Structure formats: structure tokens, C-alpha cells
Structure 1
Amino acid sequence: MAQTADDAKYLWQKKLDNGHIRIGFNDVAHQEIGEISFAKFPDNLTEVKLGDVILSIEGAKAVSEVHTPVAGKVAKVNVALKDHPEYLESSDEDKNWVVELF
């Protein structure tokens, strides 16, 4: 069974100029989860309620489901994570973001 991430501890949120909220991994997540080898978005990720799963990951130290800290409609997902899950280990917010909500 997958461990559940303490989302407030592992995620950052940023309000963008277009009013969307971007959610991504922070440095605590990088350190505690370790090298990330797999990332998968749920099917039909179009709208989320507080606490819904937005990403499943497999890291060197844990397998986790990542839950959204806010509700909203999904504007974008970082599809690059499917082929490059290591982007979640980056400190670059242009790479380590997961979803953008409105």
C-alpha cells in the first residue's frame, strides 16, 4: 500500500499572473523521497477536491500518492514528468511543478 505524503510538508503553491495556482514539489520532498523513478497522473484529471490524488510517484525511499492542498479545475498538468520523473527532484519551479489549477 502506498504511503500518503504530508502534502503541506512536500508541496509549494504559487499564484500565477493568470490567476491559476501552480503546485509543485519542494526541497523537503526531494530530500525525504529520494531519487524519483516513476510518476503517474490519475486518469481523467480534470477537477480536484481538497485531498484528491494528483500524482503517484515511486522514489528511492518511498512510494507515495500526492494529494492536492487546494480544490479547483485542472488547467494543466506537467506531462513532462511522465518521461522525466527526475524533474521532481529539481529546485527549478519550471520543472518540478505538478499541476496548475484555476
Structure 2
Amino acid sequence: MSVIKPGLRYTEEHEWAEPADSRIVRIGITDFAQSQLGDIVFVEFPEVGDAVQTDQPMGTIESVKTVSDLFSPVNGTVIKVNEALLNSPEAVNEDPYGAGWMIEVELEGDAAEALTRLLTAEQYESFTASEG
């Protein structure tokens, strides 16, 4: 059974988003996604200063099974990337909600407001139950 962290918001593409402060959101992929992908061997994400748009590709994640797009859950500008994943992409498998985070995005508006359109933990749990 996949771990779904309460308090985070989720996309149907299996990304999670967490407000880091009033205008900054931290983004990664869910435990469900990493378990479906298998062993992660490479992660590519945008660079600091790049703009990301809601529901648009923002990078890729490669496992021994496949390559998948990563989609941004919000609009904003990348202000931080988890460079540790470039040398240790397996951190996504080991700790998708902690050491496996991918990017931080600064929003033009309020983070809490921007995340309201995403799935709650309960909604995401129902969604993955129908997919699993």
C-alpha cells in the first residue's frame, strides 16, 4: 500500500505539492508513482529561473522500466532544485516526500490558494485506489 501524506496536495499525474511558505511550493512525485515506476535511475527537471505552468511538462523521470514526464501542479518560477537527485536519483524511491523532493517554485500569488484546485490526500487515495 502506498503512503499518502496528509496535508499535501496531489495531482492526477501523481505529483505532490506542499506549501513551503506563503508564496513557495515544494514539488515531488508520490510514493504511488515511484512504486509504479520501479528503480529510478535518472531525473531531469527545470533549472532555477525557469517558468513552469500548471499541467505542463517540467521534466522527466527515468526508471529501469520507462521514462515518464513530470508535470507542474502550479504556475511559477523555479527557485530551487534538488541537485542531490542528479547523483542519487534513488532517493525518490527511498523517500519521495523527503529527500526525494524535486523543485521549489515561487508563485505570483498565495501558495495555499494555488493548491486548492489540487486533490486532497483523501481524494488522491480514492483516485489511486481506482488506478492501482
Question: What interval of TM-score do these two structures reach, taking the shorter chain for normalisation?
Answer: 0.7 to 0.9
Which 5+ residue runs of structure 1 have no aligned equivalent? Answer: 1-6
What is the distance in 2 between the residues matched to 1:32 and 1:75?
29
Deviations along 1:38-85, one digit per CA (max 9) or x if unpaired, are 112346761111233222121122211111121101111111111111
What value does the CA root-mean-square deviation take over the aligned residues? Answer: 2.0
Identical residues among aligned pairs (%) = 32
Shift of 1:29: 0.9
Preserved CA contact (<8 Å) 2:44 2:60: yes
Which 5+ residue runs of structure 2 have no aligned equivalent? Answer: 1-10, 107-132
What are the equivalent positions in structure 2 for 1:83-102 lying under 5 Å apart? 83-91=87-95, 93-102=97-106
What is the distance in 1 between the residues matched to 2:40 and 2:105?
23
Preserved CA contact (<8 Å) 2:52 2:78: yes
**Aligned counterpart for 2:50 among listed residues 46, 51, 70:** 46
What is the distance in 1 between the residues matched to 2:45 and 2:19?
22
Structure with higher strand content? 1
**Aligned counterpart for 2:35 among listed residues 31, 35, 40:** 31
Shift of 1:18: 5.2
What is the distance in 1 between the residues matched to 2:48 and 2:17?
22
TM-score (norm 2): 0.63
Secondary structure at 1:39 match in 2: strand
TM-score (norm 1): 0.79
**When the two structures are aligned, how many residues end up with a matched partner?**
96
